[in-house]
Amino acid sequence: MRDGTSTSDGPRVDRRRARTRAALLAAAERLIVDGSAATATIQQITDAADVGFGSFYNHFTSKEELFQAATAHVLEEWARLIDAAVADTDDPATRFALSFRISARLAWTHPALADVLNQFGLDLLDLEDGLAPRATRDLADAMAAGRFTVTHLPLALSTVGGSLLGFLRLRSSHPDLVAVDDVEELTGQLLRMLGLDAAEAERLCALPLPHVDA
C-alpha cells in the first residue's frame, strides 16, 4: 500500500510543484516587465504568484535566482515574437535588419525590457537563448547567401551586439542624446560595415517594420 500511495501521490505532487514554480516565474516576469523587479520582496512575489511564502524556497534559493530564470525566459519569449514577426522575410539580410531595428527600438517601445537587456550587458552575447542565437543565425545565413561580405561570424556578432548594447545604454544613461530615428542611422552603419552598399543599407532601413504581437 505504501508503494501504491507514493506512485499515485508522486505525479500529483510533481504537478503541484510545477504549478507553483510556473506561478513564481510568471509573477517575476510581470515584475520585470513592470520595472519593479529590483525593489520587490519575496513576500510580494509569493503574494503576486498566489502561493505560500515558504514554498518559494522549495524552488529558488534567492530572489536573484528566480529573477535570473525569469529574465532568460522573458528574453527568449521576445526573441520568439521578433522571429515570428519577420518569419515571412526570405532574404536573411532583410531579416537581420528588421530584427535589429525592432530590438534597438525596444528602448522606446518597451523600456522595461530594454532595461533588462542593459542589466545583462555584454553577457547577453553568451546566452544560449534570446536574441544572440537569432542574430548569429541571420548573420550566418546572410554571409552564406553572399549578402554580407564579412567572413568572421563571432566577430560580426560581437560588433553588432556590442553596438546594440552601447546604443540601449546610451538611451538609458543620456536620453537627450538619442532619438528613435537614430535606430535607422545605427542599423544603416552596421549594414554597411557588414558589406551592403549604402543604397541597399538605406533601402532596408526604410522598410516598414512588421507588427510585433506582444
Interacting residues with a copy of itself (CB under 8 A): 121-122, 125-126, 150, 152, 154-155, 158-159, 161-167, 169-170, 173-174, 177-178, 182, 185-186, 189-190, 192-193
Q: Where are the alpha helices (DSSP H) in the chain?
A: 2-34, 42-49, 63-85, 92-109, 111-120, 131-144, 153-173, 182-194, 198-206
CB of 80 to a copy of itself, least distance (A): 24
CB of 56 to a copy of itself, least distance (A): 30
CB nearer to a copy of itself: give 35 or 154.
154
Handedness of CA 103, 163, 174, 208 (dihedral sign): negative
CB nearer to a copy of itself: give 30 or 192.
192
In one-letter notation, the amino acid at residue 189 is Q
Pair 212, 106: CB distance under 8 Å: no
CB of 13 to a copy of itself, least distance (A): 40
Pair 157, 132: CB distance under 8 Å: yes
CB nearer to a copy of itself: give 56 or 148.
148
CB of 112 to a copy of itself, least distance (A): 19
CB nearer to a copy of itself: give 45 or 125.
125
CB nearer to a copy of itself: give 59 or 171.
171
CB of 160 to a copy of itself, least distance (A): 8
Query: Given the C-alpha cell 532568460, which residue does it identify?
Result: 72
Pair 183, 137: CB distance under 8 Å: no
Pair 24, 45: CB distance under 8 Å: yes
